[in-house]
Amino acid sequence: MNASYRKTLTLGSTVLLSLSLYAQQKTLHIRDMLALVQSSQPQMKAYAEQAKSSQYGINLAKNTLLPEVNIGYQAGYATYNNITGMSYPGLTLPISGPPSAGNSYDPVPGTAAGAMVKWNPLTFGQRSAAIEKASAQYKLANSTYNDALFRQQYAAVSTYLDAVYLQKLMQTYQANIDRTNAGLQQSLVFTREGLRPGIDTTQFQSALAQATTDLLIVQRQYYTQVAELTRLTGLPDPPTNILLADTSLLNQLPLMADTTAGPTDNPVYQYYQMRKEVTKSSLKEVERIWRPKLDLWANAYARGSGVKADGSIDKADGWSLSRKNYGAGVQISFPILQFSEVHLKKKQYNALIKADEAQLDQVALNLQKQKETARFNYDQNMQITKQAMVQSQAARFAFEGLKLSYASGLIDFTRLIQGQYDLLKAETGEAGAFLQAWRSLLDIAVANGQLTTFTDNLK
């Protein structure tokens, strides 16, 4: 609403009802709102970053093709017995001797510096299985994001519809206040002229107070719904600065409701489908555990020892890198005793795949039944709305006739106010019927997994 409501109410004293909205309002269309949910809502940004992080898992799996190179330097003190062969593992490959003739526990220094290269260029399908699993996990993360986005957008549209409905009720209740106030002013004139008893004025004042209370309650509900809408869209504006643009929804009916779409486009179905793909790729990874492993290694290092070749001790030489060494080799290993473990894991993942397939079938069935129910509700609500329009029009004609009858003295206050209440009820019922018609279309869109089913009906 763009203007403030300011009506003078006579309840023994003057009461002012004011609904003041900020002059600078942000117009919000449903299509724009759906884009805002995706771009501005903090929760959706979190889901997007989570999906983005899983993409790096693919790069990490591919990165194992690169060789591993470690360089470093180490120094230490150890016993005389085998100082030449004692070093911290990982930097230098193990070496031996020369051992001492006997045990001597005098500490002597030793140093080493080197580079260790390890490469697995051939993994017999293990690397490709890891890449495939990482890719499936990335797709699952994306489907999780799409499902969360779809749910968030649905919640935003649903809240928007409720807000539009409450805005319509605010207009209806304001019109009811205007009608009641007009009746009050008329009764004051009739009372002064002696044509009507003073009790009519009191009754009109009571009805006016009730009508004002009803409007205040709806205003509170409207503010709550718009506040929820700003939360869902990530808008920082206060609810009083939001102007709903698609208010014509409650004056027109949807033109079409497509129910031909299959379940494969629904984000929920896609999520469970990706879950199955992750399980299948995990099974492939398990099947390739029981394959040989090929390691290529190369090591170049220099060392120093405080023990000379003749067995004498020269601690100063232990701090220098006096001996240079290098080596290279290849190793192939086969996990023979892991056959039983792999066999059990294969059975486990095969059972999980069957569970995922059954879950996927159930999701498809749920979506089909959801669509059938939504379509039936849509057809029924369209008919109900048409009847509500007829009822509202009839109630409006009846009330106009009752006003003339009251002015002519043919009916009393009770009959007039009952007709006014029937009109209010018919108008709110018409607004509710329009709301349910659009809600049933939204339910069809949810079952289709395509909100365009709903937005294509917007003007």
Question: What CATH number has the domain bearing residue 264?
Answer: 1.20.1600.10
Task: Give every CB contact of residue 352 below 8 A, 6+ residues apart in sequence.
Answer: 279
Task: Output DSSP code: residue 80.
Answer: G
Query: Does one domain contain both 55 and 188?
Result: yes
Query: Does one domain contain both 89 and 12?
Result: no
**Which of 333, 358, 392 is at the close of a domain?**
333
- Residue of 1, 303, 44 whose CA lies nearest to 170: 1
DSSP E strands: which ranges in 201-267?
242-244
pLDDT computed for residue 24 by the predictor: 64
Query: Does one domain contain both 257 and 403?
Result: yes
Cβ pair 272, 297 in contact under 8 A = no
Query: Does one domain contain both 175 and 111?
Result: no
pLDDT computed for residue 12 by the predictor: 30
> CA 307, 313, 318, 320 torsion: positive or negative?
negative
Query: Does one domain contain both 185 and 251?
Result: yes
- Segment holding 37, helix H or strand E: helix 30-40
Query: Does one domain contain both 201 and 342?
Result: yes
- CATH number of the domain that residue 114 is part of: 2.20.200
Query: Does one domain contain both 308 and 388?
Result: no
Query: Does one domain contain both 403 and 319?
Result: no
How many CB atoms are located within 10 Å of the residue 401 CB?
Answer: 12
Query: Does one domain contain both 111 and 248?
Result: no
Buried b (16+ CB within 10 A) or exposed e, 151-183: ebbbebbbbbbbbbbbbbbbbbbbebbebbbeb
> CA 397, 399, 400, 401 torsion: positive or negative?
positive
Query: Does one domain contain both 401 and 444?
Result: yes
Domain ranges, residue 405: 5-64+124-291+338-455
DSSP E strands: which ranges in 162-316?
242-244, 293-305
**Which of 305, 333, 361 is at the close of a domain?**
333
Strand 68-79 versus strand 107-119 pairing type: antiparallel
Query: Does one domain contain both 320 and 235?
Result: no
pLDDT computed for residue 103 by the predictor: 60
Cβ pair 245, 428 in contact under 8 A = no
pLDDT computed for residue 64 by the predictor: 83
**Which of 333, 362, 385 is at the close of a domain?**
333
pLDDT computed for residue 333 by the predictor: 82
pLDDT tens string for the chain (459 positions)?
Answer: 333 333 333 333 333 333 333 346 789 999 999 999 988 888 899 989 988 998 898 988 888 888 888 888 877 776 666 555 566 666 666 654 455 555 666 776 766 777 778 888 888 888 888 899 999 999 999 999 999 999 999 999 999 999 999 999 999 999 999 999 998 888 887 777 766 666 888 888 999 999 999 999 999 999 999 999 999 999 998 999 999 999 888 889 988 778 788 888 899 999 999 999 999 999 998 888 888 888 888 878 787 777 777 777 877 777 887 777 777 888 888 887 778 888 899 999 999 999 999 999 999 999 999 999 999 999 999 999 999 999 999 999 999 999 999 888 888 888 999 999 999 999 999 999 999 999 999 999 999 999 999 999 987
Number of structural domains (the chain) is 2
Query: Does one domain contain both 256 and 403?
Result: yes
Buried b (16+ CB within 10 A) or exposed e, 193-228: eeebeeebbebbbebbeebbebbeebbebbbebbbb
How many CB atoms are located within 10 Å of the residue 89 CB?
Answer: 7
Tokens standing for 19?
């609904």
Half-sphere exposure of 5 (CA within 13 A, CB side): 19
Indicate the burial class of 346 (C-beta count within 10 angstroms; 0-12, 13-18, 19 or more): middle
Tokens standing for 362?
């159930």
